[in-house]
Amino acid sequence: MSLIDLLDAAGLTGRGGAVFPTGQKLRAAFAHRADLIVNACDGEIGTHKDALVVAEHLDELRHGAGLMARTVHWAAHRGSDTEARLLEAGLQVLSVPARYVASEESALVNHLHGGLARPMMRRAPVVAGSTSPRGRRLPPTLVLNAETVWRVSQIERFGPDWFRSFGTAAEPGPRLVTIGGRVERPGVYDTAAGIGLGDLLQAAGAIDVAAVGLSGLSGGWLLGATAWATVWSDADLAPHGLRTGTGAVHVLDRGACPLDHVARLTGFAAGESAGQCGPCMFGVPAIAEMLDRLAEGVLRPDEVRLLHQRVGLLPGRGACRFPDGVAGFAASALRTFRTDVEAHLAGGCVAARERSGATR
Amino acid sequence: MTVLWYLSRATGVISIVLLTAVMMLGVFLSGARRSVGNRTTTTQAVHRSLALGTATFLVVHIATAIVDTYVHIGVLAALLPFASTYHRLPLGLGTLGFDVLAAIVVTSLLRHRISERLWRVVHRASFVMWPVALWHGIAMGTGNEPILRFTTIGCGVVGVLALVWRLTGSHHDSSRRREVLRQEWT
């Protein structure tokens, strides 16, 4: 069985969040003799899984990468421990500015070939070769998330049946989840789709769970009560408009104002725009500013419609999916935290009341 | 034949007026502060059609100058800058301007087949073409006719005002792009 057949049989999909079938991507890579970039940037907010894979499974990772390409570049955020580890191992390291969009597939390829680490406009899949913003042809490049490469090496060693013994039939294989926020044991957990989100929360030592954020800036929110009872899989999260995505789980307790947290993250997103597409340059800062005023309790009730309208204008209009992700994140927050939104529009805050109640 | 001579001068002045209008529309397009309705689309369409219209007047202007026997201007001198013995510099400037315009028209017609960068570089040459054409207009032919000379000078004044508007105005799009580019991306 060839490697591609093994991956197809295993049903491995990209662990960077996009869930694209890896076998299909590798078939295109072989056809175009593509080089490989192993993406170990952990670009998503709240994920540390790539760091863990590099720290604890570098030999397997190198083996997996060697199966797929002769030339391998190792992308890591500049100044990170992961970068230091890769350099120490004597690997070809692509030092990526620690920016949210800089580790996007096409941004890495652009950066590798001397361009800026900003996403490119795509006319074809990056694996088939791309065109730089200056009109230069860039060689075919396969970009895979570090966890994906590790899984490839595991499938080659243990076989597709071993891989399929984890997870669900539709979402097979082990998955790394990073749990953070108000939990006693934050960190990376090796689990699989189909596990109860409540079990994950319990494992990480979450006690007071007001809300759970999934997949960082590219995901959205669940209220605590819902989160305890929900199964962590794309199929079960879909009714809530959510995905497992990048595998980040962030816990907020009752003392934290969720709108405050959402406004801070959206404000961060506004500063991460690569300044190339209108919706990202102006749209994301515009909704960040409104969410900020909502968190402050100074947004006028008649502006809420405009906020929703602006959020609706973001998706599908950028060179990359960054604005789509932020729009989904903001829309989910406005939907999930409806009670908090109403309290803030009336000049109050549920979490602040909770805090003062707790101190009394 | 004096008819040809007059025709050449008339089309020359019309050309500089149209060229100035096309340049100003282009300046307005690239420096538009915000797009309102389909104003940008309309401006773009007028900019393109008028540019092609200008080219036809220019062709007549050059052809009549060659055919006319009052002064001798060869075909070579009309295409190759500074190849004419008659008013070598001012006439050569006119030739240069026409060559640049031809390059701009050709690259614009082929815009979807060539790289955006090549189109942009050639298109920017219009900022050379316009003053060169203006100089050619003022230095030649319109000396004894105040109405022709003032038309050309008027074009210069209006065009410069448009350029000043373009250079001094800040555009929220380009300023945000510049601001982001100053961050760490390499």
CB contacts, 8 Å: A117 with chain B: 185-186
ipTM of predicted assembly, 2 dp: 0.75
What local confidence, expressed as pLDDT, does residue A358 receive? 56
Position B105 pLDDT exceeds 60: yes
A302 and A187 share one domain: no
Q: How close is the nearest chain A Cα to the Cα of B116, in Å? A: 7
Nearest to A106 by CA among A122, A128, A123, A83: A122
Interchain contact, A281 vs B180, CB within 8 Å: yes
Interchain contact, A273 vs B179, CB within 8 Å: no
Collect all residues with Cβ–Cβ distance below 8 Å to A19 and sequence separation of at least 6. Answer: A13, A234, A243
Q: A174-181 and A248-252 as β-strands: parallel, antiparallel, unpaired?
A: parallel
Count other C-beta atoms under 10 Å from residue B14's C-beta.
Answer: 17
- Residue length of chain B: 186
Q: Exposed (0-12), middle (13-18) or buried (19+): which is A196, by Cβ within 10 Å?
A: middle
Q: How far apart, in whole angstroms, are the C-alpha atoms of residue A31 and residue A68?
A: 12
Q: What is the value of pTM for the model shown?
A: 0.79
Ordered mean pLDDT values, 10 residues apiece, chain A (360 residues): 95 94 96 96 95 97 96 97 97 96 96 94 87 86 97 97 96 97 96 96 95 96 96 96 96 94 97 93 96 95 95 92 96 96 91 69
A79 and A148 share one domain: yes
What local confidence, expressed as pLDDT, does residue A360 receive? 43
CB contacts, 8 Å: A99 with chain B: 183-185
Interchain contact, B185 vs A117, CB within 8 Å: yes
The residue range of the domain holding A322 is 258-359
A70 and A125 share one domain: yes
Could you please report the per-residue DSSP string of A293-311? HHHHT---GGGHHHHHHHH
A235 and A290 share one domain: no
* pLDDT tens digits, A105-161: 999 999 999 999 999 988 788 999 888 887 788 999 999 999 999 999 999 999 999
A329 and A286 share one domain: yes
A247 and A268 share one domain: no
Interchain contact, B185 vs A116, CB within 8 Å: yes
CB contacts, 8 Å: A77 with chain B: none
Among B116, B172, B186, select the one facing A116 at the smallest CB separation.
B186
Among A225, A252, A279, where does a domain finish? A252
A107 and A21 share one domain: yes
A275 and A313 share one domain: yes
Q: Considering its fold, how many domains does chain A have in total? A: 3
Could you please report the per-residue DSSP string of A215-231? SGGGSEEEEHHHHHH-E
Among A131, A162, A193, where does a domain finish? A162
CB contacts, 8 Å: B179 with chain A: 275
Q: How far apart, in whole angstroms, are the C-alpha atoms of residue A196 and residue A189?
A: 13
Percentage of chain B with pLDDT > 70?
A: 96
* pLDDT tens digits, B37-53: 788 889 999 999 999 99
Contact A41, A77 (CB under 8 A): yes
Higher pLDDT residue, A304 or B186? A304
What local confidence, expressed as pLDDT, does residue B170 receive? 75
A92 and A158 share one domain: yes
Distance from chain centroid for Cα A136 = 29
Q: How far is CA A195 from CA A44, A176, B105, in A?
A: 22, 12, 64
Among A214, A237, A252, where does a domain finish? A252
Q: Which residue of A has its CA nearest to B178?
A: A275
Q: How far apart, in whole angstroms, are the C-alpha atoms of residue A254 and residue A264?
A: 17
CB contacts, 8 Å: A111 with chain B: 186
The structure tokens 């006693």 sit at: A184
H-only helix segments in chain A: 3-10, 22-31, 49-68, 81-88, 105-112, 146-158, 160-164, 197-203, 224-229, 234-237, 258-271, 278, 284-296, 304-313, 322-336, 338-345, 350-359
A64 and A98 share one domain: yes
A223 and A340 share one domain: no
Q: How close is the nearest chain A Cα to the Cα of B128, in Å? A: 23
In this prediction, residues B126-138 reach a mean pLDDT of: 91
Among B118, B177, B184, select the one facing A275 at the smallest CB separation.
B177
The kind and range of the H/E element at A249 are strand A248-252
Angle of helix A49-68 relative to helix A146-158, nearest 10 degrees, comes to 60
What local confidence, expressed as pLDDT, does residue A30 receive? 96
What local confidence, expressed as pLDDT, does residue B53 receive? 92
A158 and A171 share one domain: no
Nearest to A75 by CA among A146, A4, A152: A146
Q: How far apart, in whole angstroms, are the C-alpha atoms of residue A127 and residue A142?
A: 5
What local confidence, expressed as pLDDT, does residue B157 receive? 95
Nearest to A180 by CA among A68, A299, A45, A329: A45
Contact B162, B23 (CB under 8 A): yes
What local confidence, expressed as pLDDT, does residue B1 receive? 56
Q: Which residue of A has its CA nearest to B179?
A: A275
The CATH number linked to A293 is 1.20.1440.230
Q: Which residue of A has its CA nearest to B184?
A: A97
Q: A interface mutation test: which of B107, B113, B172, B185 has the most A CBs within 10 A? A: B185
What local confidence, expressed as pLDDT, does residue B142 receive? 55
